[in-house]
Amino acid sequence: MDIKSGIALSIIRTLGLLNLSIARKFGHGLGVLLYITKSGMYKITVKNLEVCFPKMPEQERLALAKKSVIETSKTIAETGIAWGGNEAKFRSNEKQIKNIRNLHLFEKAIKDDEGLLMLTMHYGNWEWVTSYLPKHCELLALYKMAKMPGLEKAMLKARESSGTNLVAAGREGVKKFIKHYQNKKACIILPDQEPSEKSGIWSRFFGIPALTPKFIHYLIQKNPAGTALYVYVQRVEGGFDLVFKEVDPEIYSSDLETSALAMNKGLEKCIFDDLSQYQWEYKRFKKNKDKFYEGL
Residue 286: inside a domain, yes or no?
A: no
Residue 217: inside a domain, yes or no?
A: yes
For 46, counting Cβ atoms within 10 Å of its Cβ (0-12 exposed, 13-18 middle, 19+ buried), the class is: buried
Of the listed ranges 12-21, 50-59, 121-130, the least confidently predicted one is 12-21
Residue 292: inside a domain, yes or no?
A: no
Neighbouring C-beta atoms of residue 32, cutoff 10 Å = 14
Of the listed ranges 13-17, 73-77, 168-172, the least confidently predicted one is 13-17
Q: Has residue 169 got a pLDDT over 80?
A: yes
pLDDT at 89: 64
Mean pLDDT (whole number) for 2-23: 78
Q: Hey, is 89 helix, strand or coil?
A: helix
Residue 294: inside a domain, yes or no?
A: no
Amino acid at 76: I
pLDDT single digits (tens) 285-296:
999 999 999 988
- Supply the mean pLDDT for the chain: 90
pLDDT at 55: 97
pLDDT at 147: 64
Residue 144: inside a domain, yes or no?
A: yes
Distances in Å between the Cα of 118 and the Cα atoms of 59, 126, 193, 268 are 36, 12, 15, 16
Confidence of residue 43 (pLDDT cuts 50, 70, 90): very high
Residue 170: inside a domain, yes or no?
A: yes
Which of 222, 220, 202 minimizes the C-alpha distance to 211?
202
Q: Has residue 151 got a pLDDT over 70?
A: no
Residue 289: inside a domain, yes or no?
A: no
3-state class percentages of the chain: helix first, strand second, coil last, to nearest 5: 50, 20, 30
How do 239-246 and 227-236 pair as beta strands? antiparallel
pLDDT at 132: 83
Structural domains of the chain, count: 1
Residue 167: inside a domain, yes or no?
A: yes
Which of 23, 2, 43, 276 minimizes the C-alpha distance to 151?
2
How do 186-189 and 139-143 pair as beta strands? parallel
pLDDT at 18: 84
| Pairwise CA distance, residues 59 & 130, whole Å | 37
As a whole-number percent, the residues of the chain with pLDDT over 90 amount to 73
Q: What is the DSSP letter of 2?
A: -
For residues 214, 216, 219, 220, the Cα torsion angle rounded to the nearest 10 degrees is -110
* Most confidently predicted of 13-22, 137-146, 154-163, 256-265: 256-265
Residue 111 structural domain: 3-277
The CATH code of the domain that includes 254 is 3.40.1130
